Amino acid sequence: GQSLEQPSEVTAVEGAIVQINCTYQTSGFYGLSWYQQHDGGAPTFLSYNALDGLEETGRFSSFLSRSDSYGYLLLQELQMKDSASYFCAVNPGGSYIPTFGRGTSLIVHP
Amino acid sequence: ETGVTQTPRHLVMGMTNKKSLKCEQHLGHNAMYWYKQSAKKPLELMFVYSLEERVENNSVPSRFSPECPNSSHLFLHLHTLQPEDSALYLCASSQDRDSHTQYFGPGTRLTVL
Per-residue pLDDT of chain B (113 residues; tens, 9 = 90+): 679 999 999 999 988 889 999 999 999 999 999 999 998 788 889 999 988 888 777 789 999 999 999 999 999 999 999 999 999 999 999 998 878 889 999 999 999 99
Closest to A43 (Cα-Cα) out of B56, B91, B29, B46:
B91
Taking the Cβ of residue B22 and every Cβ of chain A, the question of whether any pair is shorter than 8 Å is answered with no
- Phi and psi (nearest 5°) for B83? -55, -30
Residue-wise burial string across B17-33, b where 16 or more C-beta atoms lie within 10 A, e elsewhere = eebebbbbbeeebbbbb
> Is the Cβ pair A100, B97 closer than 8 Å?
no
- What is the CB-side half-sphere exposure of residue B78 using CA atoms within 13 A? 23
Half-sphere exposure of B97 (CA within 13 A, CB side): 19
Contact A47/A72 with Cβ under 8 angstroms?
no
Mean predicted confidence (pLDDT) in A76-91: 95
- The residues with which B10 forms a beta bridge, in sequence order, are B109
pLDDT score, position A95: 61
Question: How many Å lie between the alpha carbon of A61 and the closest alpha carbon of chain B?
Answer: 17
Tell me what pLDDT residue B79 has.
93
Show which of residues 40-99 on chain B sit within 8 Å of chain A, judged by CB atoms.
40-43, 45, 48, 55-56, 90, 92, 97-99
Q: B97–A96: do the CB atoms touch at under 8 Å?
A: yes
pLDDT, residue A26, reads 83
Q: What is the mean pLDDT of chain A?
A: 92
More confident residue, A76 or B54: A76
Chain A, chain B: beta-carbon pairs less than 8 Å apart? 53
Find, in chain B, the residue whose alpha carbon is nearest to that of A92. B100
Record: contact B42-A33, CB cut-off 8 A: no
Q: In this predicted structure, what is the pLDDT of residue B59?
A: 84
Q: What confidence score (pLDDT) does residue A96 get?
A: 59
Evaluate if residue A2 carries a pLDDT over 80. Answer: no
| Beta-carbon separation of B42 and A102 below 8 A | yes
pLDDT in tens, A20-58: 999 999 877 889 999 999 988 889 999 999 999 999 989
- Chain A contacts of B2, Cβ < 8 Å? 42, 44
Q: Note whether B42 and B84 are within 8 A (CB).
A: no
Please check whether residue B74 is in contact with residue B23, taking contact to mean a CB–CB distance below 8 angstroms. Answer: yes
